[in-house]
Structure 1
Amino acid sequence: MEAIFINRQISNTEAKNIQKKFKDIDGIVLYSNVNLPTELNNLSKGSIELTAEEKRNINYDIFEQVLNFGEKKIEGTPVTELLMIEKASIWHYHKFRTYFYIRNLYYEIKLIKNLLNKFDKVIFYSVNESFKYYDFKSSGLEIKFSNPGSKKINFVTIIKYSFFFFLRILIALFQQNQIKKRKHIVIDHAIKQIIINIKTFKEEYGNYFLAYLFEKLDDDFFILDDVEIPKLNLPDFKLHTYFFRKSKNRLFGEFVIFKGLLSRKVRVELKKYTLKLEMGYKSIAAANLNDTENLIFQHLTSLHKTSKLFIFKYFSYKRFFRKYKIKTITSIDENSARIKSILDAAKSQNIHTIGIQHGTIHELHPAYIYTPDDQNGKIVPDYTLIWGKHWKELLIQKGNYRQESLITTGQIRTDIIPKLLKADKKGYYKLSKNTKLIVFASQPQRDPVLRKQAAFDVFKAASEIENIYLVVKLHPAEKDDFKYYNTIAKEAGCKNYSIILEFDLYLLISTCDILITCFSTVGAETVYFNKPLIILDHIRQDVQGYHKEGIAFQATNKEELKNIIENLLSGKSKINRSAYQNYIENYAFRIDGKVSERIIQFIKSI
C-alpha cells in the first residue's frame, strides 16, 4: 500500500496531482496534519500524531546530543573551541534555536519511520529541506519539498527602520555625554508591554521584566537600549514613540553599532574572524559525524550570516567598552545570541557580567543547561540573579553552574504585588455578577500540534460551561496571532471569549477566578496571588513541575479541563494553600516589594 502524508501547506498544482493520483492508482491512503484544500478533505483519513512517550524520548535524546555536540572533539579540539571568536562562542549563540529545530525535525523523522513500517511506499510533503542530509535507508520514501521562492524585501520596513536607526543615532549623540561617569549598565531589550506604573498605578508601555528595577536606578547606572534588527522580508517595522523617549540615563544601542560600521578596525576583525569561523566549519565537515551531528552541523552553517552579524556586534561593543570605565553589565535573556554577544564583548574588557532570571527554568532548557566544560570555559555570565532556592539547586545540579555565581534575590516583577493586592480592581472586566473570569495565558509553543490542541481544548471547554467568560492573554511573541486563535475558537464553537495582548498581566491575574496555561512562567506568578492554576499538559510532561509541587491541577484533554474548571467554580476542588506558601518560599524567595533594592545592592557590592 501507498501513503501520502501532508505536513505543510500545499499548492493548487500539488493538490490536483494528488487528486489525479487517487483516480489513477488503487490502494492509496491520505493523511494530513495541516488544513487541506476543500477538494482533498473527503480523501483524507485524518492526522497521525506521535505518542506522548515518543515525543518525550525524542526531547531528551536530542537535547543530550545537542548538548554534547559542542564537546565533540575534532582532531583533539572541541567544536566549541573551533567556533570560538575570542570570548564569543558561536556554537552557544545558536545552541538554543538548534535544539528546537533538530527536535522538531526528529518528530517528522519518527513519523516517517512509523509510516515506512506500515506502508510499502510513502510520499511525504514537508518544508524541512534538512531531510536531504538524512539517510532513511529506504527506497520506498519520496519527500516533496515546497518551493520557497525568493523572499521579497519589504521596502516599507527598510524605510521605517532607516528612519528609526538614524534618528536614534542623532539622539544618542546627546546621550553619550551623560553616561561617561556611570559605572554600571543594565540592558533594556524586551518587547514593550502594557504594565502598571509602580508609582502612578497607571497603565503604560514598559519592560515587563525590568521596569520596576529601572525606576530605582541611581546615577551610578545607565540603561543600554537595544532594539532587535527586523528581518527585511517581514511586515512593516512599527515605529513607537517610546523608541525615541528622552532619558538622562539611557543610551541607544544603534549608536554603538553605527560607530562599529565606521570603524576600519572592526571591519578588519570581522573579515579576519569570519575566515577563522569558516575554517572551523571545514574541520567539522571533514570529521566523522553521525546522522544527528550532521543535521546539527548543516543547520549551524545555514546560520552563517547571522553568525557574522553577531561577530560584528561583538567587536562593535568591544570597541565601545574600551572607552568607558564600566564595572558591571546586567541583563535578562543573558544567554541569547543577541544579548550574549554584548556580554561576551564586556567580558573581553574584564567587565563583570550579570544575568537576571526572567522565566522558569527546567532540565530541557537549552539556554540554562550547560556542560562542565562550558562552565570551566566561563560561557555563562559571572553571576546569575535567581528567584529562589529551587532554581539555585536546579542550575547547580542540572546546569553545572558554580554555586558562588548564583545569587537569590526574588523576582523583580513581584515588587508591585503588595501594592496591587491593596488596590481597588473593580471595573477592569465588567462581567455580570454570576459570571466568572477564566484566563488562558497562551504561548508560542515549539510544537505546533500541541499548541493548536491546547487552544482548541480551552475554547471547547469554555463553550460548554455556563456563566464563564474566557480571556486569552497572548504572549508578546504572538502579537500577530489574533486570527490564529479566532479561527480555532470558531472551530471549537466558542463565542464567550475575547483575545487581548496589551493588558497588564498581573492586573489580569489579580482579577481572574482561574488561570490556565501549558508551562508558562505565568503559572508560577498565579500562585503569588493565591489563584487556582490549571496546566494543560497533553503529554504529561509537567515541564515546570507545577503539578508535582501541588500548585496546579493537571488536565491532559478537554474533558479533564472542563471537569477541573467546574469543580473549582463549584467549590468541590480548592487550592492547596500550604503548597502555595512552600512554593513561594522555594521559587520566589520573598514577595515583599524589595527585589529591585536587593539587586541594586548586590551590583554595587561587586
Structure 2
Amino acid sequence: MVKLIYTAQKKELIVDGQILDLFEHIEKTNTEKEAFGYLTYLENQNVNGLKLEELYLYDNVPLYIFDRPSIYRKLNGFIFCIMVIRNTQDKISEELEVQTDDDIMAKVCAEVFNIKCEKIDNKKNIPAINKGKLLRRFIRGIGSYCKFLLNNSLLNKKNYKESFLVMSRAADLNPIKGNENEYYDTQLGGVIEKLKKTYNILNIQNLNNKYIIDKTRNYHENFVPFELFVIYKRLTAKKNVNNSLVVDNLIYIDKFDFHFNKLDLRNIMLKYILKDVRKNYYSYLYELILAEKIIKKFKIKKCLVVGEGDRARCFIAAGNRLKIGTYAVQHGIINDTASTYIITSKFKELLVPKHTFLWGDKFKELLISHTNVYNEKNINVVGQVRTDHLVQSGYLKIDKKSGSLKILYATQPFRDLLEPATLMLFKALSLMKDDYELIIKLHPADLSFEFYEKVVEKFQIKNCKMIKDGDLYELIKWSDLVISVHSTVVVEAALMNKPSICILLPKYNDNGGFVKDGVSFGVKDENELLEYMVKINKEEMPLNKDIQNYIHENFYKLDGKVTERIINVIEN
C-alpha cells in the first residue's frame, strides 16, 4: 500500500515507510495546457449540429462565453488532481490510498479513480466582513449615482456632457507616493481624470473581494458599487427577460464526449463543473439585459472596462448590441491558455470591444494568431497604463544597493500556491547567513495571516514585516530583490531595474512565462533559492541583457504617454 498525502502544506508519497516528495517522484505536467486543451476539445465537438457555445442562446447571444472563465478555473483544478493521481499510479505497482484536505482531490478519487480517500478537515478562520463598512460604501455609491443623475438631467443644460460608462475594479486601487491616506486607481485613474473633461462619467466599481473594502473607503473619486447593480438585478431583471428569445438546447450536453486521456470524466463534468450552467447563464443574462437598460436610459455613448472577462463582457456585449463605442484595457499577462482572451467563436462581432488596449506587440501577435475574434482593427497597442505613474514619479531611475539584502515577497491568494512557496522561502532564509530584511506584501485576496505568523515563528524569521496595503512602487523601490510565484509584480520590478525570483511550483510552473522570457530567475527548491539570494546580495547576478527588448515587446513605450494614447483612440 502506497499512501499519497495531498494537503495544502504537504505533497508527499509514503512508500515502504519512506517519505518522498511527490513532485520529485512523479512526472511534472503543464496542467494549464492540459486543461485548456481539454476545454478546446469539448468546444470543438459538434452534437446535433451544435457546439458548446450554441447550446444556450438569448437573442443570438452565446451565454457560455460569459461563464467560460469560471468553467475553465474549475476544470483546471480537477485536471491537476487527475494528473497527480494518474502520474502517481504510473510510478507504483501497489494499491494507492489518499489523504487530503482538498475537496477537488477527494471528488477525483471517488468519481474518477474509485480509490480509497481519507478526507481531512482544514477549516480556516475567515474574518467576517464589517456590515457597517458595506453600508457606508452603499450610501456613498448612492450619492455618486445622484451626482451622475443631476449632471445627466435636462436641467443641467449649460454644463451638459454626454454620458460615459466605466467599469473599474477595487483591486486596482493602491496608495501612491505623497498621498499615504488616499488611494488611486492605477489602471484607469488617469484615463478617468481626462475623460471627465469631456464626459459625464458613471463609474461602476466591482469590489472583486469584500476584504479589500478599506481601499474603496479611501478612494476619493465618485463611483457606484457594482453590488448595487447586483441588488437591482435580483429585484428587477427576471421580468425583463423575453423567454421567446431563449434557445435552450442544454439537453444535448449529455451527448458530448467527455473522455480525457482515456478517462471518462462525464460524472465530474456534469455533476460538478457544468452542474449549474443554466443558473449561471441566467445570472449573466440578467446582467446583460440590465447593462443594456442602463445604456439606453442614460444615453451612454461609450463604455470602457478593465479586462474582458465574465461581468465586464456583459457590458461590452450590451454596448455592441446597442452600437455604442466599447473599449477594454488589458489587465494582466495574457498567455496562450488565458480563457478570458483566447476565444474562437462564431459570434465574434458581439463579444469583444471595438478597441482593446494592449500593453505590447507580443500580446497583439498572440491574440491575432490564437483567436478568431481579434484583428488589426480592434487591437491598439498603447503600453501599460500604470507605467505612466512610474515615469512621472521618477521610479525608473536606478538605485544602488546598500546595506543588508532587502527582500519583497509578493504573495498570491491560493492556498496550494502560497503555502508551499512561503515554506520554501522561509526554509531558504533560515539557512541564510547574510543579513536581510523581509517585507511580506499580501495579495488583496490573501487572508492567510495566521499561516504567515506561525511560519515566521517556526523558522525564527528575523527583520520581517507583513503589509496588507502600501504603495507597491515604493516597496519595489525599497527592495533589492522581489520574490513571488507568478505575480506581475516581478514584471514591474524589471521595469524598475530590480532582480526577481519566481518560485516554480508544479501547478504554477512559470505560468506568466517570466523565467522563460528572462525577466526573472526560476528556482525549484530552497537550496536553489538560497544560492540565488546570496549571489544577488553579492551583486553576482546581473539582469538579463535582453530585458530592454522584453520591455519593448511587452510594454511598447515607457514614455508616460499611455493614457494620452488611450484618450486619442476614444476621442477620435
Normalising by the residue count of structure 2, what TM-score does the alignment of the two structures yield?
0.83
Per the alignment, do residues 276 and 50 of structure 1 end up closer, same or farther by CA in structure 2, a change over 3 Å counting? farther
Report the Cα distance in structure 1 between the residues aligned to 2:426 and 2:505, rounded to whole angstroms. Answer: 15
The change in CA–CA distance for 1:55 and 1:366 in structure 2 (over 3 A counts) is farther
Q: Who is 2:412 aligned against?
A: 443
Contact 1:420 1:507 in 2 (8 A): no
2:446 is the alignment partner of 1:471: no
Aligned position for 1:272: 243
In 1: Cα distance, 2:211 partner to 2:417 partner: 30
Match of residue 536 from structure 1:
503
Gaps of 5+ in 1: 10-30, 35-40, 231-235
Provide the C-alpha distance between the structure 2 equivalents of 1:542 and 1:348, rounded to a whole number of angstroms: 38
1:119 match:
94
1:511 partnered with 2:478: yes
Q: CA deviation at 1:357?
A: 1.0
Contact 1:425 1:511 (C-alpha < 8 Å) held by counterparts = no
Structure 1 residue aligned with 2:206? 227
1:320 CA displacement? 1.2
- 2:535 pairs with 538, 556, 567, which one? 567
8 A Cα contact 1:465 1:562, kept in partner:
no
Q: Which whole-Å CA distance do the structure 2 matches of 1:154 and 1:303 have between them?
A: 30
- Kindly state the Cα deviation for residue 344 of structure 1 after the two structures are TM-superposed: 2.0
Q: CA separation in 1, counterparts of 2:322 and 2:481?
A: 49
- Structure 2 residue aligned with 1:26: none
Which residue of structure 2 aligns with residue 207 of structure 1? Answer: 185
Q: One-letter code of the match for 1:194?
A: N
Residue in structure 2 matched with residue 318 of structure 1 by the alignment: 292
Match of 1:95 in 2: 68
Partner amino acid for 1:187? M
SS of aligned partner of 1:73: coil
User: SS at the partner of 1:475?
Assistant: coil
Q: 367, 370, 377: which is aligned to 1:398? A: 370
**SS state at 1:384 partner:** strand
> What is the alpha-carbon distance in structure 2 between the residues aligned to residue 417 and residue 163 of structure 1?
32
**Cα distance, 1:566–1:375 mapped onto 2, change above 3 Å:** farther
Of 436-445 and 200-209, the range deviating more from structure 2: 200-209
Deviations 1:75-111 (A, max 9, x none): 1011101123346543222322322322222332233
1:205-354 matches, cutoff 5 A = 205-221=183-199, 222-228=201-207, 240=214, 242-243=216-217, 250-253=223-226, 256-257=229-230, 260=233, 263=236, 266-270=237-241, 272=243, 276=246, 279-290=248-259, 291-292=264-265, 295-298=268-271, 299-302=273-276, 304-335=278-309, 337-354=310-327
Q: Which amino acid aligns with 2:206?
A: V
Deviation at 1:46, TM superposition (A): 4.6
Q: Structure 2: which amino acid aligns with 1:267?
A: K
Cα distance, 1:350 vs. partner?
Answer: 1.6
- Contact 1:281–1:301 under 8 Å retained in 2: no
SS at match of 1:451: helix
Taking structure 1 as reference, are residues 311 and 436 closer, same or farther at Cα in structure 2, changes over 3 Å only?
same
Residues 210 and 484 (structure 1), Cα distance of their counterparts in 2 relative to 1, 3 Å cut: farther
Query: Residue 133 of structure 1 contacts residue 295 of structure 1 at CA under 8 Å; is this kept in 2?
Result: no
Instruction: Work out whether residues 538 and 557 of structure 1, in 8 Å CA contact, stay in contact via their aligned partners in 2.
Output: no
* SS across alignment from 2:299: coil
- Secondary structure in 2 matching 1:404: coil
Q: CA deviation at 1:163?
A: 6.6
Aligned mates of 2:88, 2:228 — CA distance in 1: 54
Distance 1:333 1:487, change over 3 A: farther
Match for residue 21 of structure 1? none
Aligned partners of 1:303 and 1:296: how far apart in 2? 11
| RMSD (Å), alpha carbons | 3.9
Counterpart code for 1:217: L
Q: Is the 1:212–1:413 Cα contact (8 Å) retained in structure 2? A: no
| 3-state SS of 2:368 partner | helix
TM-score between the two structures when normalised by the length of structure 1? 0.79
- 1:109 partnered with 2:82: yes
1:120-167 superposed Cα distances (whole Å, 9 cap, x missing partner): 36355552364488443x6xx234567999xxx999767764675466
* Corresponding residue SS for 2:439: strand
Cα deviation for residue 205 of structure 1 reads 1.9
Query: C-alpha separation between the residues in 1 aligned to 2:197 and 2:81?
Result: 54
Query: C-alpha distance in 2, partners of 1:531/1:99?
Result: 34
Q: Taking every aligned residue pair, what percent have the same amino acid on both sides?
A: 23
**1:456 and 1:489 in contact (8 A); partners too:** no
Q: 1:590 aligns with which of 538, 554, 557?
A: 557
Equivalent position of 1:382 in the other structure: 354
Following superposition, the deviation at residue 604 of structure 1 comes to: 1.1
Aligned pair in 2 of structure 1 residues 148, 419: CA closer, same or farther (>3 Å)? closer
Describe the shift of the 1:422–1:560 C-alpha distance in structure 2 as closer, same or farther (beyond 3 A).
Answer: closer
Residue type at the aligned position of 2:56: L
Q: Deviations over 1:455-483 (max 9, x none)?
A: 122222233142211112121121x2222
Out of 35, 41, 47, the position equivalent to 1:68 is: 41
Aligned residue identity for 2:239? V
State whether residues 90 and 307 of structure 1, in contact with CA within 8 Å, keep that contact through their aligned partners in structure 2.
yes
Deviation at 1:449, TM superposition (A): 4.0
**Paired AA for residue 501 in structure 1:** K
Report the Cα distance in structure 2 between the residues aligned to 1:155 and 1:575, rounded to whole angstroms: 43
**CA 1:191–1:541 in 2, change beyond 3 Å: closer, same or farther?**
closer
Structure 2: gaps spanning 5 or more residues:
154-160
In structure 2, relative to structure 1, the CA distance for the partners of 1:243 and 1:538 (3 Å cut) is closer
Q: Match of 2:511, as an amino acid?
A: V
Deviation at 1:176, TM superposition (A): 1.6
- Cα gap change, 1:146 to 1:72, in 2 (>3 Å): farther
Shift of 1:297: 4.1
The 3-state SS of whatever aligns with 1:370 is: coil
